[in-house]
A and B are shown apart, each in its own frame.
Chain A
Amino acid sequence: MIPAVDYIRILPELVLSIFGIIVMMVDPVLPEQSPKKPLGVIAVIGVLAALAATAYQPGFYGSAFYNTVSVDTFSVFFHVVVLLIALVVILISFEYLDVQRIRSGEYYALVLFGTVGMMLMSAAVELVLIFIALEISSISTYILAGMRRRAAESAEASLKYFLLGSFATAFFLYGVALIFGATGTTNVYGIAHYFQTQQASVLAYLAVGLMFVGLGFKVASAPFHVWTPDVYEGSPAPVVALMSTGPKAAAFAVLLRVLFATGAPGWFWMVWVSAALSMTLGNIGALVQQNVKRLLAYSSIAHAGYLLVAFAAAKQVGISAAIFYAASYAAMNVGAFAVIGHFASEGEKYVTLDDYAGLGRRSPLLAATLTIFLLSLIGIPVTGGFFAKFYVFSAALQSNLVGLTIIGVINSAIAAYYYLRVIVYMYMRDERVEAPVARIPAGLGVGLAISLVATIYLGVMPGRVLDYAIQSAQDLLK
């Protein structure tokens, strides 16, 4: 018999799934050619309800459903981050879908289902559930990547993402099967207990390696990053906003639970190498990009590298720095892609740096917003990106990772170049062809405001969120 309190522990996921189903049921009832905005409104209500359900959870910490789900500060933190990402993404999709003439109601349902997967990923402590949650979020994003059905780039992005994504999932699964063989259990706590009491076998090392390949793909860290620029370039901008932040944060939560909280053997050097490679390859790749979406894709690889630096720093400081980084990266990156999606206009025509020339004069507000997000991505003070980087590198130094810190700081300096280049184009170049800028509609305005407030809030008063991140790290390590 499953106690009723278990259902409260997965209440946000339940609420969001139900709203996803409602969206799918209302969709066929709407007239065929009408805009699908009502569905978006239902989706927004769903996300807000799920946020309320998450806010209700802190009184009910504990594990549920035969130890498959664990609700703690850690899971609640990631729930809130993922839900806020989904909220902003849905808000900026209103206008985007109209402009791109995408008339598919299932778009909103898929965003909701994908979010359910990401939330479950952060709460799951059983490898079966982790795998199912990973697949819920991945399959939704595979489809979302191909939402601009008539554009060949979008179909291609979707195909690439699907092929490489399921390949990576297969590796992850093989690792899971081997770890089941090595330890005799698929529960994270069981595995942790095994590694504490017994010597790890070769099988366990192999399993950890394979699982890291699968999860490394999902967080887009080198050397499993090759898909990132192609997929981000071809996918619809709001979808990129979702999949560059949501699955990344969630996969990172899984990485923390599966590799770190279990004390799995041999993860340190894998993470070290992957972090150094991601930062370097990401930043160097971004230097030569002309397409802004592609540029931010490489930047997203680099940011996965910074996250892994915090991961390698381990212990409580590192983990809390990583959690904080995931949150602030989500805020600024979603905002940046919101601006890009709005500016891209019909058929995503305007996405190269040349199109951004002179934007500062034509649309000062939009340019200023994008500038703030880019400055935050560089890590300039008064923005969330500054504190995020600061905590990551100070955690790395505390753990004596001097080499990795040096690589990271050099990379941050390189990164400033290409972010500033976008800003220079916007304010100091004259446009050759004038790209039109539409007025900012209400949905996008609210979405941008949320990410802007979050970015600045994390930069000015990081205290509360950081306390929460520290507590999450403590919960994770218990």
Chain B
Amino acid sequence: MTEIGTLHYLVVAAALFIIGTIGVLTRRNVVIILMSIELILNAVNLNLVAFSRLYGLHGQVFAIFVITDAAAEAAVGLGIIIAFFRNKETVNVDEVDLLKW
């Protein structure tokens, strides 16, 4: 058994990032897209904390900022989704179609 090193964390973070990106690009439900974006932000946190092992506490402090911001963003995002739902009675991105060329 090899010891779990920084690289392992980075690989997990990269996997989360890719899963999140694919989720944003392929899912049709706005709420799930929002969750996928949160997944990418968590990948960022994992990265920052993993790099903290090498460079000191900087990264962990940064991660706290990212968590706070993710909360603010989710709050505003859900509000926007509700405003949209009131107008169109749907949260499906396929029906977000008023503005097109």
In the complex, A167 Cα to B61 Cα: how many Å? 22
Report A103-133 CB contacts with B as 1/0, cut-off 8 Å: 0000000000000000000000001100110
Which of A132, A160, A229, A285 makes the CB contact (< 8 A) with B96? A160
Known A-B contacts A159-B30, A162-B77, A166-B77; the reply to A174 vs B47 at CB < 8 A is: yes
Tally of contacts, chain A with chain B, CB under 8 A: 130
User: Which of A131, A135, A166, A230 has the most chain B CB atoms closer than 10 A to its own CB?
Assistant: A166
Are A180 and B98 in contact, with the CB atoms below 8 A? no
Measured between beta carbons, the chain A residues less than 8 angstroms from B48 are 177, 180
Cβ of A385 < 8 Å from any Cβ of B?
no
Residue of B nearest to A143 (CB): B76
Report B1-35 CB contacts with A as 1/0, cut-off 8 Å: 00000000010010001001000100000100110
Measured between beta carbons, the chain A residues less than 8 angstroms from B93 are 163
Q: Shortest CB–CB separation between residue B14 and chain A, in angstroms?
A: 9
For A, the interface residue count at a CB cutoff of 8 angstroms equals: 46
Main secondary structure, interface of B, reads helix
Are B101 and A177 in contact, with the CB atoms below 8 A? no
In the complex, A184 Cα to B20 Cα: how many Å? 26
Measured between beta carbons, the chain B residues less than 8 angstroms from A143 are 76, 79-80
Are B69 and A159 in contact, with the CB atoms below 8 A? no
In the complex, A146 Cα to B76 Cα: how many Å? 11
Report B64-101 CB contacts with A as 1/0, cut-off 8 Å: 01100100110011011101101110000100101111
Are B98 and A153 in contact, with the CB atoms below 8 A? yes
Residue of A nearest to B62 (CB): A128
Chain A residues packing against B (C-beta within 8 Å) = 127-128, 131-132, 135, 139, 142-143, 146, 149-153, 155-160, 162-163, 166-167, 169-171, 173-174, 176-178, 180-181, 184-186, 229-231, 233-234, 285, 288-289, 294
Q: A143-B76, A177-B62, A230-B100 are in contact. List 15 more A-B contacts (CB 8 A).
A: A135-B69, A150-B87, A155-B80, A155-B87, A160-B96, A160-B99, A163-B33, A163-B37, A170-B20, A174-B44, A181-B10, A184-B55, A186-B62, A234-B98, A294-B101
30 residue pairs A–B, Cβ–Cβ below 8 Å: A131-B65, A131-B66, A131-B69, A139-B73, A139-B76, A146-B80, A146-B83, A146-B84, A152-B98, A156-B98, A158-B83, A159-B96, A160-B96, A162-B77, A166-B37, A169-B73, A177-B44, A177-B47, A177-B48, A178-B47, A180-B51, A180-B55, A180-B58, A180-B62, A184-B54, A229-B99, A229-B101, A230-B99, A234-B98, A294-B101
